[in-house]
Amino acid sequence: MPEQLPPFTQRTAGPVVAVGECMVELARGGDGRFGLAYGGDTFNTAVYLARAGIPVAYATALGDDPYSGGILDVARNETIDTALMTMLPGRMPGLYMIETTAEGERSFWYWRDRAAARELFESTGAAAAAAAIAASRLVYFSGVTLSLYGPRGLDVFAAALTAARDAGAVVAMDSNYRQRGWGGDVTRARATFERFWRLAHVALPTFDDEQGLWGDTTPIATADRLSRLGVAEIVVKNGAAGAFLRGPDGDSHVPCPAPVTPLDTTAAGDSFNAGYLARRLCGDAPVRAGTFAHCLAAVVIQHRGAIVPRDATEPVTHRSA
């Protein structure tokens, strides 16, 4: 394994590169009807990073259909660099549907087996994506990203992350474990996650996901396991209970600044991750970055859908500038 570099202290220039999948989103509104939008865990994080003033590029593969065009339009409107969004003729993006309970908790249903994003690292855009990752200031991905690729794609991605680490980039990962994405193969999911955690400087997991995959009993147990894999900075998100942080200054609990009644928890963790990474890239200490991340996520969960209106997040993102 390459030598572990201190997070956020090496390369100080260049964009963030987020890697993964953006899909067509159908979310049921308060009137029972579905509205069409676009989203995906790492794409959501890229949007909120851009809103927080961080230059970000998104690496994925799309088709040549109108919905892929809609995804590109959203990315451009959010000032995300689309140069790494490869177009594969005849293909389409995946689709997901969100159902939300009265308490704001959501369930997801996916149609994505042939989504173009699965072929990013086996397509004509693979070399450009790998080069951009190696040249980035920070590269961000998730367990959902990893679930997309086959063995060859994972090998190409791992090599790009290793090159990025060696060049001084920060590697950040959120597990975001979704059992359906792994076909119920827990052994394969665990082995893949461990492989990529060993390449990460920063971990941003949600405790429920770690508990579901590994049986962790507490956020501290999650942090202990990730520390043993060599991860230097760990933020375990735990809903209304706040976040457990293990970083350069030791262990801390970062509480939510105020209680919030969620309307829709979609992208709660994605926006938290964006807020945390944005403030760490701007020089904030981990605890302060965690507090900002809670504030941004609190705004997002009071709106429906993954990507909320820009004017909703501006009071938080402008305050951080």
Nearest Cα residue to 231 out of 190, 181, 196, 188: 196
Query: Is the CB of residue 82 less than 8 Å from the CB of residue 74?
Result: no
Other CB atoms within 10 A of residue 186 CB: 14
Please say if 208 is a catalytic residue: no
Exactly one of 174, 209, 264, 270 is catalytic; which is it? 270
- Cα angle, residue 222 at apex, residues 15 and 48 outer, rounded to 5°: 30
**How far is Cα 292 from Cα 88, in angstroms, rounded to an integer?**
38
Pairing of strands 250-254, 243-247: antiparallel
**How far is Cα 40 from Cα 95, in angstroms, rounded to an integer?**
10
**How far is Cα 85 from Cα 232, in angstroms, rounded to an integer?**
30
Other CB atoms within 10 A of residue 225 CB: 18
State the catalytic residues: 270
